[in-house]
Structure 1
Amino acid sequence: MATDKRTIQISLPCTGEEEWQACRGPLESGWLTQGPQVAAFEKGFAERHRVTHALATTSCTTALHLALAALGIGPGDEVIVPAFTWIATANAVLYCGATPVFADVRRDTYNIDVEDVKRRLTPRTKAIIPVHLFGLTADMDALRAVLPKGVRIVEDAACASGASYQGTPAGGLGDCAAFSFHPRKSITTGEGGMLTTNDPELAEIANMLRNHGASLSEEQRHLGPRPYLLPEFNLLGFNYRMTDLQGAVGLVQLGKLDGFLAERRRWADWYREELEKIGWIRPPKVPQGYEHAWQAYVTYVDPERAPYARNEIMDRLQQRGIATRPGTHAVHMLGYYRDRLGLKPEEFPGARDCDAHTMAIPLHNRMSAEDYAYVVQALKDIA
């Protein structure tokens, strides 16, 4: 048994001198709110993900809300969401006054179960939010095959910067998509998000909505030839604008994205080879034709073969200095949704089991080879 003890976080942002220096421009110019740095970040992000429009926001949650609002989702509408996801996916639906309808997830990919989606469709279904959970895209071809014409697809790509499906990057797989730049994601702006789309009309509406519904952006107004002009407000909008400080950091991080992903994929492959030897812990599945972004490395602890329950294993790893987390929530089991919608754990058994048995282990761009070896050895020692 290994005797040394390290402290290995579940995730750490990989930032440094370049990000620090990038903030100087906005600070020295005085342009701190949405401006040229945000515009450059949006342009670069759109190019990397092969979409025509990218709109920076304050978070992925606000990007999801913005997307649904721009699509006209409102009271009386139903939006299908996976039952195993971060709670913001469902919350964004309620923000619009619509009803979230949960669908179960697959235990092998953790993504939405298309067969269960078919059972949840009604004449009131106006949209679906497939989540590309932990960086693996949902099965978009299978999903499109069961959706009625007119049901809009909003990708929750919070974890999926740089991921792709059958050669197409996340962000261009549906009508629109929402990304996150939270510090646990592959690239970060602290807080922050991005809405992407290839639909010019949707982009135009979303652009107004994120700026209070204004017909002119702050940049257009301040740099325009007629300073006395104020924008028209014909929509009830929000203040969901990213700051230029965040845009400057995001632009630097975006330049590092492919390097970050290559490193994460290399170590994810190494983890898989090592974990397959253990037997009671299942590595994440990556189907043919998918490029996983590895925002998190989420395993599945086999309750029939594991030497201890998942939580006991997590406690033992914590004692060795190794941080772990459950994959995410079974949202239908959380108090607010359980009580509001009268849901029971057994209604979505895949989500229930993923809630109980998934375990994220450390994988990020500030880990060393010794750190990865220490994690695997600790898992082997548990048995």
Structure 2
Amino acid sequence: MSEPKRTIHISLPSTGEAEWNAVRAPIESGWLTQGPKVAEFEKSFAERHQVTHALATTSCTTALHLALAAAGIGPGDEVIVPAFTWVATANVVLYCGAIPVLVDVLRDTCNIDPADVARKLSEKTKAIIPVHLFGLCAEMDELKAILPEHVTIIEDAACAAGASYRGVPAGGLGDMAAFSFHPRKSITTGEGGMLTSNNTTLSETANMLRNHGASLSEEQRHQGPRPYLLPDFNLLGFNYRMTDLQGAVGIVQLKKLDHFIEERAKWAGWYREQLNEIDWLTCPKEPESGRHAWQAFVTYVDPEKAPMPRNEIMDILQQKGIATRPGTHAVHMLSYYAERFGYKPEDFPGARDCDVQTMAIPLHNRMSHEDYTYVVETIKNV
């Protein structure tokens, strides 16, 4: 009788009875939309990331869009975006009618290249969205030294809950930041996001924009002296509110964040030790100063030394029950952007190479020692 096929997912959310029980309160109270649970989640998230304000949203994409809208980004403005990132980072710029100006990334970190940022700055540059890719913070000090003061810095911290840079948590390294709680992230609310900031004016504007532009939130109105009166709407806003069901789950997940990261960091270190002897595979490194959040473990396949192309390696691993993924994609190589802006793959060689050669291998909080051992042994036998 053949042994059952092993399946190791690229990522799995770590949820259980505590999350299941957490949703009882909003269901029993009848307060399902944004309310007290969301407010509690926001407060805890702000405290953990040492920021003044945190606003829960429907996704990281909508948090990024809110940040740009709160900053007044509009038609004709230019926003600098790394060419190797999830497409949403560039899409939100187009939502505002602005122009995404792509810059290259560094092959060793997959993060934005400050030198290329300096080359792409113009009089029209109004904002920049550095991405803390896979949980590693971008080189924020180098970026800040380059950027004019009027340029708004919006961190794409989708992968970086719990990460830090030179002792400062992600989320407070720029003017605003956006986090993701998608199931592939360290902590999850299903879908969901968070906008953080230490700027009260920007936060107040974003808070109104996420609730249709209303001058009061639903919770403020219902708990006020005259809940039967609708608020004024002085901005053209959106409906980007998180539900209290998600907020309740987020409260539980956030309490587990540091444990999740510590466990991932341990296994990331073990991966590096075990895979070090493979000359065609480069592993990600810990930051010299700061904390990697280890949303993903993304390796780089050397095309000159590898026994076969990356995609063939990924196919072999898939057949062995090990899920892999490219790190993410190069935005300029996606059909929409290539056709609309006339980009060629060689326009951003770092992003192109990361697109073609990166390989994320399984790293999450539901893997066993046997799972990690199997992954390493299988890669060594490719």
Give 1:109-128 correspondences, 5 Å limit.
109-128=109-128
* Counterpart residue identity of residue 122, structure 2: T
Q: CA deviation at 1:286?
A: 2.6
SS state at 1:126 partner:
strand
SS state at 1:25 partner:
helix
Counterpart in the other structure of 2:13: 13
Give 1:257-268 correspondences, 5 Å limit.
257-268=257-268
SS state at 1:359 partner:
strand
Counterpart in the other structure of 1:105: 105
Q: CA deviation at 1:381?
A: 0.6
* Counterpart residue identity of residue 174, structure 2: G
What is the alpha-carbon root mean square deviation over aligned residues?
Answer: 0.9
Inter-partner Cα distance in structure 1 for 2:323 and 2:228: 55
Indicate how the Cα distance of structure 1 residues 4 and 107 shifts in structure 2: closer, same or farther if over 3 A, else same: farther
SS state at 2:155 partner:
strand
Inter-partner Cα distance in structure 2 for 1:71 and 1:57: 17
Alignment TM-score, normalising by the size of structure 1: 0.98
Establish whether residue 274 from structure 1 lines up as the match of residue 274 from structure 2.
yes
SS state at 1:360 partner:
strand
Establish whether residue 373 from structure 1 lines up as the match of residue 366 from structure 2.
no
* 1:109/1:286 contact within 8 Å kept: no
Inter-partner Cα distance in structure 1 for 2:228 and 2:370: 61
Inter-partner Cα distance in structure 2 for 1:301 and 1:184: 22
Q: CA deviation at 1:257?
A: 0.4
Establish whether residue 207 from structure 1 lines up as the match of residue 207 from structure 2.
yes
Counterpart in the other structure of 1:344: 344
Inter-partner Cα distance in structure 1 for 2:359 and 2:42: 34
Inter-partner Cα distance in structure 1 for 2:208 and 2:155: 21
Cα offsets for 1:328-370 (capped at 9, x unmatched): 0100010111111111110100000000000000000000000
Q: What is the identity percentage for the equivalent residue pairs of Structure 1 and Structure 2? A: 76
Cα offsets for 1:185-242 (capped at 9, x unmatched): 0000000000000000111000000000000110111111113321111100000000
* Counterpart residue identity of residue 277, structure 2: K
Q: CA deviation at 1:275?
A: 1.2
* Greater CA drift, 205-214 or 5-14: 5-14
SS state at 1:300 partner:
strand
Aligned residues: 380
Counterpart in the other structure of 2:287: 287
Give 1:351-370 correspondences, 5 Å limit.
351-370=351-370
Counterpart in the other structure of 2:169: 169
SS state at 1:102 partner:
strand
* 1:38/1:247 contact within 8 Å kept: yes
SS state at 2:311 partner:
helix
Counterpart in the other structure of 1:239: 239
* Counterpart residue identity of residue 319, structure 2: Q
Give 1:210-221 correspondences, 5 Å limit.
210-221=210-221
Counterpart in the other structure of 2:150: 150
* 1:51/1:196 contact within 8 Å kept: yes
Establish whether residue 78 from structure 1 lines up as the match of residue 65 from structure 2.
no
SS state at 2:202 partner:
helix
Counterpart in the other structure of 1:24: 24
* Counterpart residue identity of residue 289, structure 1: S
SS state at 1:33 partner:
coil
Cα offsets for 1:20-48 (capped at 9, x unmatched): 00000000000000000000000000000
Q: CA deviation at 1:148?
A: 1.4
Q: CA deviation at 1:277?
A: 1.3
* Counterpart residue identity of residue 332, structure 1: H
Alignment TM-score, normalising by the size of structure 2: 0.98
Task: Give 5+ residue unaligned stretches, structure 2.
Answer: none
* Greater CA drift, 156-165 or 220-229: 220-229
* Greater CA drift, 26-35 or 285-294: 285-294
Inter-partner Cα distance in structure 1 for 2:338 and 2:136: 27
Establish whether residue 197 from structure 1 lines up as the match of residue 167 from structure 2.
no
Task: Give 5+ residue unaligned stretches, structure 1.
Answer: none
Inter-partner Cα distance in structure 2 for 1:23 and 1:356: 42
Inter-partner Cα distance in structure 1 for 2:319 and 2:74: 48
* 2:136/2:287 contact within 8 Å kept: no
SS state at 2:381 partner:
helix
* Counterpart residue identity of residue 12, structure 1: L
Q: CA deviation at 1:78?
A: 0.1
Cα offsets for 1:159-204 (capped at 9, x unmatched): 0000000000000000000000000000000000000000001110
Cα offsets for 1:286-314 (capped at 9, x unmatched): 33102100000000001011111100000
Q: CA deviation at 1:279?
A: 1.3
Q: CA deviation at 1:278?
A: 1.2
Q: CA deviation at 1:5?
A: 4.5
Inter-partner Cα distance in structure 1 for 2:97 and 2:263: 42
Inter-partner Cα distance in structure 2 for 1:126 and 1:360: 33
Inter-partner Cα distance in structure 2 for 1:302 and 1:64: 34
Inter-partner Cα distance in structure 1 for 2:205 and 2:130: 22
Inter-partner Cα distance in structure 2 for 1:148 and 1:345: 30
